[in-house]
Amino acid sequence: MNDAHLHMLVNHFPIIGLFFGIGILLFGIIKKNPLLINTAYIIFIFCMIMGKISMFTGEKSEDIVEDLGISHDLIHNHEELAESFMKIFYLLGLASILGLYANYKKHSKSLLVAYLAITIAIVTAIMSKSVGTSGGEIRHTEIRANATKTPTTTVAEGKDKD
């Protein structure tokens, strides 16, 4: 297993887990259930850590992918988006740690922290679309904006009808 393979294994956790965390946090806020809210916080923290691992493995796999003939511009664009995404994710992780602490101490502002966390999580989720798509475009040419349908001919179409 090389770094590019490892990157592909871990890069889905931050995005998919983020959406699970948002659902759980929303449900926890609606039900006013600290256990669900804390579960969402733990998911966000785990996803943030996986995002950091994804950044690390992505950096190490850059040369491997460029050696396959992939455009440096595509990789650089993905890298820049991922860095911006992670800055917001770090903020979400910090809010989640603060939320865990506030819930543990039964602080009167713990619900306010949950609202802050859900707001940051939604912003992070919106950013995840660009990061995920730009990463997918590196090897999945069919999702690129400039993708065109290549005409195909079957054996039957290519034969003379004389």
Please name the amino acid found at residue 89: F
In a domain, 53, yes or no: yes
- Residue reference for tokens 């543990």: 104
- Can you give the residue range of the structural domain that contains 73? 3-142
| CA pair distance 97, 125, nearest whole angstrom | 19
Band the pLDDT of 81: cuts 50, 70, 90: very high
16: confidence class by pLDDT, cuts 50, 70, 90: very high
- For residue 114, tell me if it sits in a domain: yes
Alpha-carbon distance 84 to 42, whole Å?
22
Total tally of structural domains belonging to the chain: 1
Measured distance CA(14)–CA(63) in Å, rounded: 23
When the pLDDT of each residue in the chain is averaged and rounded to a whole number, the result is 87
| 48-71 pLDDT tens trace | 999 999 999 888 888 788 888 777
pLDDT bin (cut points 50, 70, 90) of residue 141 is low
122-140 pLDDT, tens digit per residue, is 999 999 999 988 888 787 7
Pairwise CA distance, residues 52 & 56, whole Å: 6
Tell me, yes or no, whether 153 lies in a domain: no
Distance CA 22, CA 19 (A): 5
pLDDT at position 98 is 98
The alpha carbon of residue 61 and the mean position of all alpha carbons in its chain are separated, in whole angstroms, by 17
- Residue 3: pLDDT band (50, 70, 90) is confident
